[in-house]
Structure 1
Amino acid sequence: MMARPLVPERSLWHLIAVEVRRQRELHQLSGSHLANLLGCDRSTVSRIENGLRRLSPDNAAQLDELWRTGGLFTRLVRFAAAADDGNWFTGLTQYEEQATHHRMWEALLIPGIFQTPDYARAALTVGMVDDVEAAFNLRMARQTAVFDRPRVANISVLLNWVALAQPVGDAETMRGQLARLLELSELPNVSVRIVEKEANVHLGLDGSFTLLTVDDHDIAFADAPERGRLMIDPPDVQRFAVRYERISNIATPIGPSRALIERAMETYQ
């Protein structure tokens, strides 16, 4: 993949990439040597320095110790992950690939990694993105990264009743999507629970979010129009974990939730 121009004045992630290269050259290390010290391959170091891969919190801590930078890279990664600089999606997809546990609350739509091709295209073509085909391909690639992996992640979804009632595409598209939702909910590592209309007003109405467990640490992603926000600072993540638990407390159990999905399918004839 061709390296893109780095603009450290506009992106903290680009600043990190430039600083990793600067420090490596300052300490007269080759890319291969640094890769050995970090326990990764040479291509990973190259992708980090070219802005094609984000520096992980663990690697940031390794660099701080190696170069005695006083926690500089750890702080930069934390701030970059929390910043809304328009590059959030790269970080989200990377964390999704690595996560061992996904906890999702979806207020309006079927989760992206559960969407059928027809549903995804119908959702994306309403003007959410400029390049529908690129966004569609990325969404399908996210599904592959999550479900087609040697170590399957545990996925727990809390789904608002609105996602079942809101048509996206035609009736056939919705039947296919809900059938796919049922199919995935029967996997041993996946649970889908519905928050019914009778739950009335609750914390989840503030917006969708995801909690991901990566390397025994949790991160949070809060959804928003056009841009989302990644959070790795423990107090921020904990607030979303508490919110998830409170929504979970009012969600319908797994078995009855499947029955709700089946009944919703019958309405799309």
Structure 2
Amino acid sequence: MANVQTLDPNASPLDYYGWELRRLREAAHLKQGQLGDIIFCTGSLIGQIETTKKVPTRDFSERVDAALGTDGLFSRLVGLVLRSQLPTWFQPYADMEAQATYISTYQVQLVHGLLQTEEYARAVLTTGVSDDLDGLLAGRMERQLILEREQPPLAWAVLDEAVLHRPIGGQEVMRNQLAHLLEFSERRWMRIQVMPFSVGQHASLDGSFTAMRFHEDPDIVYTEDLISGHMTANPATVREASRRYAHLQAAALSVEDSAALIARVMEERYGNQSRPDELAMA
């Protein structure tokens, strides 16, 4: 007789998801392989998700809902599951980010998480120490769904020019990432500016920070150090962050000139380069 792993549905959102998947699959009198055939995946994957060894995706959840007739149960649960995959210290920030009506950020080293492509995000996350890269990546991609809402938060990002030149993940990953940034220029609720090297000293040489506004709650400023993040609603800190951000926006290139610089770096630094033997034959 097979050794069936006992799950505690109260242990975590992932455990609850796996417990419900097993319960409803068995109620439908389906083996793991049979459900896998219906939703075009392997029975092994079904088993891994039921035993919390794999994190479900949103697409997987939608297909399970359709196959088992669960009225969107797993599509609703997966949001909680993916949010739970974020580092514990980061989850309070992600919760507030999802409620914000306006997000403004200055980034020195990297593209902000909400604007990252999946390949860029994967390259960034591989520099960490977590054993669950897929879970972290899924959680980061889930955060980005707030930008796809019918009424997304207004957002403004100032990126240091160094962000464009740092080759995270390699040439193709960077080219796709910069192209992704340019796509946001077509969305009226998102604005991206670049702080050029030529500016020299500016109002936030201390580093990156993000500010958020809400319908009713106080404004929040978020910063990170080496191992954790910090949120504060201290009025003096919020005022100082607002002052600094206004100076950053004034010093950075205009939205239009920023898009032109992003496009130029994308082509000149990450464009398709001919191989040496092709150059020799030209």
User: How does the TM-score come out when normalised to structure 2?
Assistant: 0.63
* Counterpart AA for 1:178: L
Q: CA deviation at 1:260?
A: 0.3
Q: Equivalent residue of 1:113, what SS?
A: helix
Offset from partner CA, 1:196-237 (integer Å, 9 cap, x none): 000102232211111111124311101222211111121222
Distance in 1 (alpha carbons) for counterparts of 2:112 and 2:151: 21
Distance in 2 (alpha carbons) for counterparts of 1:142 and 1:89: 12
Distance in 2 (alpha carbons) for counterparts of 1:226 and 1:264: 31
| Other-structure match for 2:270 | 268
Q: Equivalent residue of 1:205, what SS?
A: coil
1:116 aligns with 2:117: yes
| Other-structure match for 1:225 | 226
Distance 1:198 1:190, change over 3 A: same
Verify the 8 A CA contact 1:101 1:154 in the aligned structure 2: yes
Verify the 8 A CA contact 1:119 1:173 in the aligned structure 2: yes
Q: CA deviation at 1:261?
A: 0.3
| Other-structure match for 1:77 | none
Verify the 8 A CA contact 1:106 1:158 in the aligned structure 2: yes
1:245 aligns with 2:258: no
Q: CA deviation at 1:178?
A: 0.3
Identity %: 34
| Other-structure match for 2:159 | 159
Q: Equivalent residue of 1:203, what SS?
A: coil
Indicate which of 6, 10, 15 corresponds to 1:2.
10
Q: Equivalent residue of 1:204, what SS?
A: coil
| Other-structure match for 1:173 | 173
* Counterpart AA for 2:122: R
Please, what is the CA RMSD of the aligned residues?
1.8
Following TM superposition, the consecutive aligned residue runs of length 4 or more in structure 1 with deviations greater than 6 angstroms are none
Distance 1:128 1:223, change over 3 A: farther
Verify the 8 A CA contact 1:221 1:231 in the aligned structure 2: yes
Verify the 8 A CA contact 1:196 1:251 in the aligned structure 2: yes
Distance in 2 (alpha carbons) for counterparts of 1:126 and 1:261: 25
* Counterpart AA for 2:232: M
| Other-structure match for 2:98 | 97
Distance in 1 (alpha carbons) for counterparts of 2:88 and 2:233: 15
Offset from partner CA, 1:37-70 (integer Å, 9 cap, x none): xxxxxxxxxxxxxxxx9xxxxxxxxxxxxxxxxx
* Counterpart AA for 2:158: L
Q: CA deviation at 1:87?
A: 4.5
User: How does the TM-score come out when normalised to structure 1?
Assistant: 0.66
Q: Which structure 1 segments of 5+ residues have no match?
A: 5-52, 54-85
Distance in 1 (alpha carbons) for counterparts of 2:150 and 2:200: 40
Verify the 8 A CA contact 1:207 1:223 in the aligned structure 2: no
| Other-structure match for 1:148 | 148
* Counterpart AA for 1:117: E
Verify the 8 A CA contact 1:88 1:227 in the aligned structure 2: yes
Q: CA deviation at 1:185?
A: 2.3
| Other-structure match for 2:200 | 200
Higher Cα Rg, which structure: 2
Q: CA deviation at 1:3?
A: 5.1
Q: Equivalent residue of 2:205, what SS?
A: helix
Greater length-normalized contact order (CA 8 Å, ≥ 6 residues apart) = 1
Q: Equivalent residue of 2:194, what SS?
A: strand
Distance in 2 (alpha carbons) for counterparts of 1:207 and 1:169: 23
| Other-structure match for 1:83 | none
Q: CA deviation at 1:130?
A: 4.5
Deviates more, 1:157-166 or 1:122-131: 122-131
* Counterpart AA for 1:139: R
Q: CA deviation at 1:88?
A: 3.7
Distance 1:202 1:176, change over 3 A: same
Q: Which structure 2 segments of 5+ residues have no match?
A: 1-8, 13-82, 272-282
| Other-structure match for 2:107 | 106
Deviates more, 1:259-268 or 1:119-128: 119-128
Q: How many residues align?
A: 188
